Structure 1
Amino acid sequence: MRGRLLPSLNAIRTFEAVARHNSFTRAAEELNVTQSAASRLVRSLEEYLQVSLFTRQSRRIELTDQGRFYNALLRDALDLIEAGTVELISSKAGKGTLSIGMLPTFGTRWLLPRLPAFQEQHPEIALNIVSSDGELDFTKERIDVAIRFGHGNWTDAIVDPLMSEEIQVVCSPRLMNGEHPITSYESLRHHRLIRHSTRPHSWEHWFRSVGVHPEDLQWGPSLEHFFMIIQGAVAGLGVALLPTFLIEEDIRNGNLITPFTDRIAGPGAYYLVTSAAKSELPRVKIFRSWLLGQLA
């Protein structure tokens, strides 16, 4: 079996340092070698690759096109090696930092209020929580687990269903007490309907589910996150369609009113998505077990 086609790892490390500092002198200081040794290692790498990685003019150096290409690849590769090294060093007995990619509104309204209990039970685990609702990439986002809405079809991951959602129509008391109170589906045509930009067909799904085909609807602003839609509805920006579990407090305190009793199942569910590569790390197993236990 053929071995890997790799140049000297020491030469690679030296080249990346020189490219990062744009200086042989500063790279040599970082690596604790002489400037001539750093220069020789880069030369050996160029000879191995049979390409010039730098142009050298007097005391100035500059990456060639091939050098920029190779440096970008090596920087990402070394970042991954460094992250993995830190990962293993910090993961003894479940310690270390657990990075969670969190849907902004779900995290704020559902997960964050529960996390103090997790921290009390597991003070040895530090938490790093980032907003994450785009295409899921554990490596790029540097996260261990994520909470996502969808249909459970993520690859290279362990997928645990958390909950489905019911959606309902809400508005501010000001709209309800205004010139056109919402007393029927027909009365919705007098108001702007706020849309969720990542779920553009939610209103159509709701109308189909309740068997209504209204005409002359006014579309209001399209907002990216549920917390924006909630605030927009509270402010009277328009009528909103929102998951019930996200707005229970706003309904209780009178910030929002539900003009209809209809609650319709949303076209998806919330999932805990765990990186398959990190699923056996103690802190990841601890968090996954704890979070699923919250649903019992």
Structure 2
Amino acid sequence: MPSSEPPLNAVRVFVAAARQLSFTRAAAELHVTHSAVSRQIRSLEGFLGVALFERRIRQVALTAEGQQFYAEVEPALEQIGAAARALSRPVAGRAAVRINVRPSFALRWLIPRLPDFVERYPDIEPQVVTSTQWPSLEAEGFDVAVRRGLEGWAQAMQVHPFLDDEVLVVGAPSLFAAQPLVDLCALASHVLLSAKTRKADWDDWRKCFGAPRGRQAGRLQFDHLHFVMQAAVDGLGLALAPTSLLAHDLASGRLQAALPDLRMPLTRYYYGLAPGATPEARCVADWFEEMRRAQVLQTQRTASRGRSR
């Protein structure tokens, strides 16, 4: 009797490709070939009887069925991973610390900086747990959490200010080369990218800077902010992105800031320590404090350069 469950490896490959919106980057993440990713996706599509991706020139996009499937299976795979981590023994001599963050923050801020933490604290094993909900002390079981704002924290937690943040308009350099964005009036000629979780961002940004309203060239909406930022990298349109999540994309040249003086303030990030914080959790807090001070110094240097021009 044929199995009614899809092949787990194909689902894992699909999740990587959906998260990256690229078969090439998924192949690099999984350490396999592009053709292996393509075969696994075709196998899964054949099993399900629906197309999960739209294949375009040099890029792919999720179909409506693909978006629905990703929204269901990505948390399920994370739950499987969490269950495995809970049962596995830490590496001898290393103590684990669980860090609960939103997926976009994990992908764009925390993970790119984790090598620095591991180098500084080789005896600590950081375990990243992602969630779009406010962390629950009873449900997730975490040591440190990061979220925006002061509302929603459990009273028993020690909450500290972390990162100040602003929103910038960004896009792929190739997009601006073909269609420059020199002023607010030129905004109408671009496709605007947005996330379901941050639907009001473009309206708030327009109000903040008095941008004219008019017929827009187009709009594309995605489930999460990290999809929006990846779509911007792939040249699909303009994104409003937090500066806290942009550093590596700007430094690598994958994204470019347009109208860089128009920065809309965002609610500050805070980090919280669970009650009875372990020494390992306090090491994460110390590291966060170093990152916060580095951000303040960078902001001061940027402001100083701006005044000297």
TM-score (structure 1 length as normaliser): 0.60
What residue is the counterpart of 1:166 in the other structure?
166
For the Cα contact (< 8 Å) 2:194–2:225, is it kept in 1? no
Q: Which amino acid aligns with 1:139?
A: E
What residue is the counterpart of 1:119 in the other structure?
118
What residue is the counterpart of 1:44 in the other structure?
none
Q: Which amino acid aligns with 2:276?
A: K
1:285 and 1:254 map into 2 onto residues whose CA distance is: 34
Percent identity of the aligned residues?
30
What residue is the counterpart of 1:66 in the other structure?
none
Matches within 5 A, 1:138-153: 138-153=137-152
For the Cα contact (< 8 Å) 1:194–1:222, is it kept in 2? yes
What residue is the counterpart of 1:39 in the other structure?
none
2:187 and 2:264 map into 1 onto residues whose CA distance is: 20
Aligned-pair CA distance for 1:152:
4.9
Distance 1:251 1:272, change over 3 A: same
Aligned-pair CA distance for 1:252:
4.1
1:131 and 1:211 map into 2 onto residues whose CA distance is: 36
For the Cα contact (< 8 Å) 2:168–2:258, is it kept in 1? no
Distance 1:114 1:224, change over 3 A: same
Q: Which amino acid aligns with 1:282?
A: P
Please tell me whether residue 278 in structure 1 is matched to residue 271 in structure 2.
no
Q: Deviations over 1:197-239 (max 9, x none)?
A: 2222111221122122422235522223333222101212111
Q: Which amino acid aligns with 1:251?
A: L
Matches within 5 A, 1:1-296: 96-156=95-155, 157-178=157-178, 180-217=179-216, 220-275=219-274, 277-279=275-277, 281-296=278-293
Aligned-pair CA distance for 1:119:
2.9
Q: Deviations over 1:77-118 (max 9, x none)?
A: xxxxxxxxx9xxx9xxx9632111122232333323433343
2:215 and 2:276 map into 1 onto residues whose CA distance is: 51
What residue is the counterpart of 1:7 in the other structure?
none
1:204 and 1:225 map into 2 onto residues whose CA distance is: 18
Q: Which amino acid aligns with 1:267?
A: L
1:255 and 1:121 map into 2 onto residues whose CA distance is: 28
User: Structure 2 stretches of 5 or more lacking a match?
Assistant: 1-85, 294-309
Distance 1:216 1:107, change over 3 A: same
2:187 and 2:193 map into 1 onto residues whose CA distance is: 12
Q: Which amino acid aligns with 1:294?
A: M
2:271 and 2:190 map into 1 onto residues whose CA distance is: 36
2:147 and 2:162 map into 1 onto residues whose CA distance is: 10
Distance 1:150 1:223, change over 3 A: farther
Look at both structures and tell me which one has the larger radius of gyration over its CA atoms.
1
After TM superposition, the structure 1 stretch with the greater mean CA deviation from structure 2, 119-128 or 96-105, is 119-128
Q: Deviations over 1:129-173 (max 9, x none)?
A: 121222321321221211112345522222111111121111223
Distance 1:123 1:204, change over 3 A: same
Q: Which amino acid aligns with 1:271?
A: Y
What residue is the counterpart of 2:70 in the other structure?
none
Distance 1:266 1:198, change over 3 A: farther
For the Cα contact (< 8 Å) 1:185–1:214, is it kept in 2? no
TM-score (structure 2 length as normaliser): 0.57
How many residues matched? 205
Distance 1:148 1:177, change over 3 A: same
Distance 1:207 1:140, change over 3 A: same
1:127 and 1:133 map into 2 onto residues whose CA distance is: 19
For the Cα contact (< 8 Å) 1:151–1:268, is it kept in 2? no
For the Cα contact (< 8 Å) 1:99–1:144, is it kept in 2? yes
Q: Secondary structure at the match of 1:138?
A: coil
Q: Secondary structure at the match of 2:199?
A: coil
Q: Deviations over 1:224-283 (max 9, x none)?
A: 3333222101212111111234334433444333331333233311111222x333x322
User: Structure 1 stretches of 5 or more lacking a match?
Assistant: 1-85
Q: Which amino acid aligns with 1:227?
A: H
2:108 and 2:166 map into 1 onto residues whose CA distance is: 15
